[in-house]
Each structure stands twice: as structure tokens, then as C-alpha cells.
Amino acid sequence: MSSCFISDLHLDDAREDIKKTFFKFLDDEAPKFDNLYILGDLFEVWIGDDYQDTLSVEVIKRLKAFSYTGKKIYFMHGNRDFLLGHKFAESCGGKIISDPYVFKVKDKKVMLSHGDIFCIDDLDYQNFKNTVRSEKWKTNFLSKDLSERNAIAKKLREESAQKNLEKKAFLMDVNKGEVNRVAQKYDIDILIHGHVHRPKTHIEDYGTRIVLGDWDRKYWFITLIDQEVNLISGKVK
């Protein structure tokens, strides 16, 4: 069994280059693996499965074609696209997995996460997350018409960007104590996550923590072949 992992593409109308790089990845790299895991923030924003634009239609078409070749696609929610629903996943031929998600490769335990669950020092963010991830907030938001949802999402992104400017660097990274706690609780050997945009392979007491990067100037993916993990990157063009 082999898998590849990506996250934080932040696909957006304004970034034709990232979209093209993603489709090239689907054509050239992803087919070498049995499973494709998209660990959150595939889209810069997602306001509901009933919203369609050229980008979303094209992405669904490409992922569907990929799944038709017999490959498995798994989606995890990111903080930008936590409203991706089963309708979206099914139309791509994939399925949504929970965060964190744990599976075994022979005798090794692998944990996947978007990564924001480990950013516990950023209380302001965790409070915001608790609010918008509640069923009540989501139901209320999805009941609004698309233009209103667009306006709310835009405002939230602007507020978050403003707040992030003021936040100290450690707030934007994982809390190592929390990572260790979760790693011990689940007895994992390998942790793969994104979100913090600090791509790196960390050797820890419990095993390996390997962090994906965002797709801005470079694209990043992680490969898992048998029990071996590797972080790979190339240029977005």
C-alpha cells in the first residue's frame, strides 16, 4: 500500500499557477500511489457544496477522473474549507475523514491531521474554531443565500489576516507539548500534518512528525511507501 499526502493548496481564482501545478501533480505524481490524502485547505475558502464556480467544477472533474482510475481519495477539513461536505466528496469519488485520523501500516501507527488541533496556544483561534465548527453555526451559515455567505466568509478572512499579523510566531505553530500528549495517547509512530506552513521532518521521541508546506511558491507532498515517509517539493509554475 502506498499513499501520498497534500494540504494547504489554498486554491483560489487568483492563483491559476497553483491550480495548474495541482492538476499536473494529479497527472504525474499522484497516480504512482494507491491513496491520495488531502489534509485540509485544498481551497482558500468553501462556502457550501451548493456553490459552484469554474474552479470548483474543474477541480471536481479532475479528482473524479483520478478516482475513476481506481485510486482512493480522502479529504480532511482544513480551517478554510471545513464546510466541504459529503456531496462534494462523493462528486469527486472520495470520502471525508475525521481529524485526527489514525491507521496502521503493518506494525506502525500513522496519524493524520490538518494540524490546527495542535495550535492550542492560539486561544483566540481555538475559540473562533469552536464557534464556527458548531452544528448551530454551520446550519445557520448554510441557510443564508450565497452572496451573503460570500460576504461573511470574506469578512472572516480579512479579520483573520489582520489578527495573524499581530500574532507572535509561536502562536502560529504547534504546541510541542500538545503534539507529544496526543502522540502518546494514540501511541503513534508517524504524524503527518499541515496548516502551519512550516514544512519539515522532525525526529521526535515517539517517532517522526512530518509537516507539509503550503502551495505558494513551492508545492509539497509527502509519500508513504511501506513504512517510509518522505517530504518532497518542487516549484509552482
Tell me how far, at minimum, the Cβ of 32 lies from Mn ion, in Å.
Answer: 26
- Degrees (nearest 5) of the Cα angle 224, 225, 230? 45
Q: Which of 48, 78, 85, 100 binds Mn ion (CB under 5 A)?
A: 78
Give the shortest CB-119-to-Mn ion separation in angstroms.
Answer: 9
Q: Where are the beta strands (DSSP E) in 30-171?
A: 35-38, 72-75, 95-96, 101-105, 108-113
**What residues numbered 9-48 form the site for Mn ion, per CB under 5 A?**
41
Q: What's the half-sphere exposure (Cβ side, CA atoms, 13 Å) at 197?
A: 14
What is the DSSP secondary structure assignment for residue 11, as one 8-state letter?
Answer: B
Cell 472572516 appears where?
Answer: 156
Residues 6 or more apart whose CB falls under 8 angstroms from that of 29 comprise: 4, 221
Under the binding rule (CB under 5 A), the answer on residue 81 touching Mn ion is no
Count of residues of this chain found to bind Mn ion when the rule CB under 5 A is applied: 4
User: Which range, of 31-39, 57-65, 97-105, 191-199, touches Mn ion by CB under 5 A?
Assistant: 191-199
CA distance 5 to 114: 11
Give least dist CB 196 to Mn ion, A: 8
Considering only the stretches 73-81, 171-179, 182-190, 206-214, report the one whose residues sit in contact with Mn ion under the rule CB under 5 A: 73-81
In terms of CB distance, is 144 or 163 closer to Mn ion? 163
195 interacts with Mn ion by CB under 5 A: yes
Residue 85: helix, strand or coil by DSSP? Answer: coil
Determine which residue in the list 4, 79, 189, 193 makes contact with Mn ion, applying CB under 5 A: 79
Contact, 126 vs 20, CB < 8 A? no
Q: Looking only at residues 101 through 140 of this chain, which bind Mn ion when binding is defined by CB under 5 A?
A: none
Q: Which residues bind Mn ion (CB under 5 A)?
A: 41, 78-79, 195
